[in-house]
Chains A and B, each alone.
Chain A
Amino acid sequence: MRQWLLALSLLLSGWFCSIAYAAQDWQATLAEARGQTVYFHAWGGQQEVNDYLQWVAAELARQYDIRLVHVKVADIAESAQRLVNENQAEPSAVDLLWINGENFHFLKRQQQLLAELDKKVPNRSLLAPADEWQRDFGVATDGYELPWGVGQFQLLVREQVLNEVNVTTAELSPQQLLRYAKKHPGRISYPKPPEFHGSTWLKNLIWSLSAGDPRLLEAPTNAAEQALLPLLWGYLDELHPLLWRAGEEFPASQAQTLNMLANQQLDMALSFSPQQLSQLQQQGLMPRGITRAYLAGGAITNHHYLAISRRTAVPAAALVSLNFLLSPEAQQAKRDSAWADLSVLQQARTGANTELFPTAPELHVDWVERLEQTWLARYQ
């Protein structure tokens, strides 16, 4: 018994020591971070996000004496390319990144990201259960990135779309959409893949048409391709002649479809943000009479993440910045800001993310490549 007690006390003291050590370690990180500048490479295409990051920069300066510079890029792939091209023996010019999906896989494969973020960032312990976010487009995050916010694929449709096909909930089946397109040719379209929203439309569509076939979550095999792809191409062959400009041309971007929806040229646009519609309507950039819907079988839901360059010159300041971005204070401010991005923290979950539709998982990344390339071969 005494031995057990001794063992237990040793274990507990070890645990307390490790906590104390970690706390001491973090104090050292905080001290080291003071006065440092962090270059945060993040997509700059949304003013609400840019404004929120201005608030973050002000808070980091006030609370931690860190200067955060938001490097606004049109496509984060520019920064990913830079990381790989840089002199690998020298510190990088990129410190912190906002990434997910393909960019993350590329940088992880190229060993450009700082490892063990899940051990180095104290606020990791506040995050929602890891099984929700530990796979990014089917690839394990493995501590190379931590979630920052939540995205969900949605259809923004004119209310008459749902009314005409007698849908009382927000769930819209591909067949119902096809029925609407037959009654109103030329009023539906989607951004041309491989544009992100256009590709997600294809993914969500095949998920819906196959009633959530689990083979879509694994790397595609020949048998799976032969069984599942005809469902999608058969549907699109029927839908395309009914699309805007008879499906011979497609909008270049999601922003364009939003503009066409707002100005009565289209009856449907795509979005990856549950809050985008209400934001746009509040700002007077989208008329009333438009509502959110999702494809039957669930809306593809994923996370967007933060990562740190392996060669950052300011690891301490980058970690402190990342930790702050995952703090309850910053996550709440993000939720309350004009951006209104959903929190990734456990405590914020209860009742807070009610805007989310029933979820569908991300397809395995190899399906994306297959879908995009076959789409281009068939329809370009």
Chain B
Amino acid sequence: MARSLPIIVATSWVGFCLVLPVLGVLLLIGDGLWRVLGRGAELLSSFFEVPGLLSMVGQSLGTALISVFISFVLVLLTLPHTLQRSQSWFARVLIGMPHLVVAIGLVWLLAPTGWLWRVFGATEPSITLFEQQSLISLWLVLVLKEFPFLWLVAGIALKRLPVANWFVQGRALGRTDAQIWWLVVVPAVVRQLRLALIIVAVYSASVVDVALLLGPQSPPLFAVQVYQWFMDFGPQRADYARWGSILLLALSLLLVGIVVLHERVFLWLTARGLSRSRVLGLPPAWLPQVMLTVLLCLLVLIVFQLLILTGARGWFFPQLWPASWELQQVLQTVQNLAPTILSSFLLAAVVSVLATVTVVLLTELQRHYQKQVSLTLVLLPLLLPQIILLLGWQSAYFLFSNTPHWAWIVLCHLPFSIAYTFIVYAPIEALYPQRTLVVAQSLGHSYWQAWWRLKARSLARVIGFSFGFAAVIALAQYLPVQMTAAGRVQTLTTEFVSLASGGIRPEVVTIGLVLTLVSFIALSLQTVKGDTQS
């Protein structure tokens, strides 16, 4: 890449996108955070006297760690079988399905009056581990949602690694398959998973909607409390909300540290365990199959429950089936959603194209300048409570106008999609043998011609997945749309979240399923593209 105008433009654009979150924080500080900080000790001591604060933070930390570690172990146990692409469709459905929809499905399936117990003839509410206001239920939903994400990222990484070569070389050196697996393959995959694990941890600590539906309330998870402070006008609540955000950020940074430390300890332990005693074997071949089958059954049952819920009337415990059906309402809801589906698609498409292009440019510019951009900078939008960033951006665009422009709305989505796309794309891109581009350039192609003909084709699968994933992230945003668009743009998610605030009704489930379908289509575009490329 020669130093030229396009480079300057690309650098400026990528720089702007990366600085946006920092700008958000700075603007918020300028807009009042300093006043909170300035009031100092008195306010801080009253903040730390909030009833149940320690439990709230402890629950959040525990939830994050448990969802990360269980998902991680599940990924390790199922990894050898992830190479079959035909199995991955169910992971896409789960990734595309909003957390809240999964939670609603599980409540109707497993809660004390759930459908599963009705099948077994229960006439009284059952005693079950899965019920609302329970940490275990929250953990189950988080693992069910985060495991497929990690699994797909690991699967993509595994495809890019020269696993077959490693086995050939390892065997030639007299090593067993188990040793090659644990000493060479797993460490390489685990390194590729670091960013994804960080995101899972931070997301699990800051999730609000599912934690409100399923998590404990007395006291709630910390992120829920912070959100409630933001939405409360009582005395000191705004100050508490800002202090809470700072504490949430500290919690996120702590989790980043724990994930990195966990990776090191894990790699050290696997290496040490193998060199001293040969206790570690390959995971039993039946285990992944059993686990995937259980997950698949669960997914089928959830979708089945949700489909019934959309049209069910008079469906009460302990009845197995609804007394009657109301399908007209379902059709009406879907019909009314048509313009919203279109605007959601449009917004997601624009955001995901921009996010994918930005991340590709970012990785190429890193190679060009031979410098790595700080990971914290790229991931900042995911480390900070979303509302903090949005309040900062709001104060910026309110300087120009209170009435939002399309560009603002897109811009407020971009950092989140960029961060997620980076997590999926960057580790795989780093494995690409860049020298092939140098060879192509010496044969007379320009840098970007070579990139398009060689690298883009080689990375088509991960670029496609990144694009789909960025679209899913854009589709799932509530606050960025609501806080910027103020009704000028309404999406499936704003419809879903606002309606869900009134409870689990058939219309809510219908919108949730439409949202799942749209997200699944976005994620499946990559498969079609991948197939045509191969």
* Interface, chain A (partner B; CB < 8 A): 39, 41, 43-47, 50, 69-75, 77-82, 85-87, 90-94, 102-103, 105-106, 192, 194, 245, 248-256, 258-260, 262-265, 283-285, 287, 311, 313, 369, 372, 376-377, 379-380
Contacts and interface: CB of A to CB of B under 8 A. Distances in A.
Contacts of A72: 490, 494-495, 498-499
Interface stretch (B309-317, B424-432, B524-532): B309-317
B72 to A, nearest CB: 29
B218 A263 contact: no
Contacts of B260: none
A86 B31 CA distance: 12
Nearest to B478: A74
A78 B133 contact: no
28 contacts: A47-B499, A73-B482, A74-B500, A75-B501, A77-B232, A78-B483, A79-B486, A87-B398, A90-B398, A93-B402, A93-B486, A94-B486, A102-B234, A249-B217, A255-B503, A258-B503, A263-B113, A264-B124, A265-B125, A284-B312, A284-B313, A284-B315, A287-B314, A287-B316, A311-B402, A372-B234, A380-B52, A380-B219
Nearest to B404: A93
Given A102-B232, A248-B218, 4 more contacts: A44-B495, A90-B402, A102-B233, A265-B113
B162 to A, nearest CB: 49
Given A251-B132, A264-B316, A91 B403 contact: yes
Contact of A81 (B133, B230, B326): B230
B217 A192 contact: yes
Contacts of A251: 132-133, 217
Interface bin, chain B: 35 or more
Contacts of B324: 284
A313 B488 CA distance: 14
B501 A43 contact: yes
A75 B483 CA distance: 12
Contacts of A85: 391, 394-395, 398
A250 B313 contact: no
B257 interface: no
Contacts of A265: 112-113, 125, 317
A78 B231 contact: yes
Contacts of B504: 255, 259
Interface in B182-231: 212-213, 216-219, 228, 230-231
Which 5 A-B pairs have CB atoms at the shortest separation, nearest pair first?
A: A255-B503, A45-B502, A284-B313, A71-B487, A44-B498
Nearest to A109: B233
B164 interface: no
Contacts of A45: 498-503
Contacts of B494: 72
B51 A376 contact: yes
A90 B497 CA distance: 29
A139 B212 CA distance: 31
Contacts of A255: 502-504
Interface in B311-339: 312-318, 322-324, 326
B445 to A, nearest CB: 49
Most chain A beta-carbon contacts within 10 A, residue among B216, B326, B478, B503 = B503
A106 B505 CA distance: 31
A347 B507 CA distance: 35
B443 interface: no
B533 interface: no
Contacts of A69: 487
A74 B495 CA distance: 9
A197 B492 CA distance: 28
Contact of A73 (B316, B318, B488, B498): B498
Contact of A264 (B51, B113, B398, B497): B113
A380 B53 CA distance: 10
Contact of A284 (B217, B219, B314, B495): B314
A244 to B, nearest CB: 9
Nearest to B123: A264
A263 B317 contact: yes
Contact of A87 (B133, B391, B402, B500): B402
B84 interface: no
Nearest to B134: A249
Nearest to A91: B402
A48 to B, nearest CB: 10
Nearest to B323: A284
Contacts of B444: none
B401 interface: yes
Interface in B340-392: 391
Interface string B462-497: 000000000000000010001100111010001101
A73 B482 CA distance: 8
A254 B504 CA distance: 11
